[in-house]
Amino acid sequence: MGSLQRLGRWTLGVLERLGRGHLFLLRTLLAMGTLVRRPGLLLREIYSVGVLSLLIVAVSGLFVGMVLGYQGYITLVDFGAAEALGTVVALSLVRELGPVVTALLFAGRAGSALTAEIGLMKTTEQLSSMEMMAVDPYKRVIAPRFLAGVISMPLLAAIFSAVGVAGGYFIGVGVLGVDSGAYWSQMQASVDFHEDIMNGVIKSMVFGVVAAWIAVFEGYDATPTSEGVSRATTRTVVHTALAILALDFILTGLMFGDI
């Protein structure tokens, strides 16, 4: 009986949290209107969420692209198809690695910071004092951070993919001696703008919404103690990673599954 009760309590707890998360998202979306009148709030958050993530995303993209250049070449050269290296590098970056790795890096670099910041605001009762002064924390704190994440993610993913393609070019053409014209022409022949690049952009938009949502919600929902904030930060990274990988599987099935 006791274990059944624990199971029930756990299930109800999960459902309650899910419900709170969705109500939170709804209130955030409703609070979005103020950002039209005060774009300065949004700019500051895009700076801390997007611009400060730029370096890690660009450097990771470069290395991932260079690794793809090596691994793709080693596999393809056995089949005499080293010219298809451009296709391999571009398709894997644009379709999968760009959106997914960027979202994972985003969760670690920006998502955890968002959670810790909002959680500490709650712990030190800054959010309650805002409410005392009739300032809506959803409008002042949550909505700008959420929207900044949503806007930054597709841009970061595009930068990741572009830098990665350049990294693959550097290794494939510069180091391993694949023909430069073949690298680009094979890539252009098999990468479709609507099918591949736009689907990648849609993926990164979805990931942006999910990653930003989880980060701000975990911060807002954190237990207001130092331990609670640290737990919320961990949960942000873990939950975002799981949600993004599972969503990526579903989106890939929907977008590319019907071949």
Catalog residues that contact another protein under the rule CB under 8 A: 40, 43-44, 46-47, 50-51, 54, 90, 94, 152, 154-156, 158-159, 161-163, 165, 184, 187-189, 191-193, 196-197, 201
Q: At its nearest, how many Å lie between another protein and the CB of residue 244?
A: 19
Is 232 in contact with 115 (CB distance < 8 Å)?
Answer: yes
Nearer to another protein, 170 or 184 (CB): 184
Q: At its nearest, how many Å lie between another protein and the CB of residue 155?
A: 3
Q: At its nearest, how many Å lie between another protein and the CB of residue 143?
A: 17
Nearer to another protein, 2 or 80 (CB): 80
C-alpha to C-alpha distance for 70 and 64, rounded to whole angstroms = 10
Nearer to another protein, 211 or 229 (CB): 211
Which three-class secondary structure state does DSSP give residue 225? coil
Which three-class secondary structure state does DSSP give residue 258? coil
Q: At its nearest, how many Å lie between another protein and the CB of residue 90?
A: 5
Cα torsion 47, 241, 239, 197: sign: positive
Nearer to another protein, 209 or 243 (CB): 209
Q: At its nearest, how many Å lie between another protein and the CB of residue 88?
A: 12
Judged by phi (left if over 0) then psi (alpha if -120 to 50, else beta), residue 144 lies in: alpha
Q: List b or e across 121-148, with b for residues whose CB sees 16 or more CB atoms inside 10 angstroms.
A: bbbeeebeebeeeeeebbbebbbbbbbb
